[in-house]
Amino acid sequence: MAENFFTHQTRMMKLGHLTAYTLHRYRRSYELHLSTTFGLLPFTAISAMDIEDQMVEQRDIPSSGKSIRNRHGLLLSILMHGHKRLGLRPDNPAELTRLPSKDGELGRQVRFFQHGKWRPWPGRW
């Protein structure tokens, strides 16, 4: 199923709707993060629970919230292609997934120095 999606995306690239680099990134992301879980399952057997389990695995790697959302977006697109364009299933289970927030728990925290904390670096500023 994913190969059919990438064949369609190759056509879209030839029409100028995405770049060769973007298509390459999609394929690479699929191969590294999605194919091991979803490439082995029959397309019609993928459930919302499978997707949630995969997201938990991604957090355990750990991956940033943005990376998880990007990979989920690719999976959503592949499932949408099979659902809407090919009619292989009646739904898209990826639509039900709750994604990590943009400021997720894995994100960097911004910290500011207090006035007194600058003293250890005399002459720096």
Higher per-residue confidence, 2 vs 117: 2
Residue 60, token pair as written in the block: 């355990």
Mean pLDDT confidence for 21-40: 94
Question: Within a 13 Å sphere around the CA of 33, how many CA atoms are in the beta-carbon half?
Answer: 26
Task: Give the pLDDT confidence score for residue 120 in this predicted structure.
Answer: 60
Residue 80, token pair as written in the block: 């949408």
When pLDDT is cut at 50, 70 and 90, the band that residue 112 belongs to is low
Task: Give the pLDDT confidence score for residue 108 in this predicted structure.
Answer: 47
In the predicted model, is pLDDT for residue 104 greater than 90? Answer: no
Q: How far is CA 67 from CA 85, 91, 123, in A?
A: 26, 24, 40
Task: Give the pLDDT confidence score for residue 106 in this predicted structure.
Answer: 45
- φ/ψ region of 16 (left if φ > 0, alpha if ψ in -120 to 50, else beta) reads left
Determine contact, residues 82/75, Cβ cutoff 8 Å.
no
d(CA 56, CA 61): 9
When pLDDT is cut at 50, 70 and 90, the band that residue 30 belongs to is very high
Mean pLDDT confidence for 92-117: 66
pTM of the model: 0.77
Mean pLDDT confidence for 62-72: 88
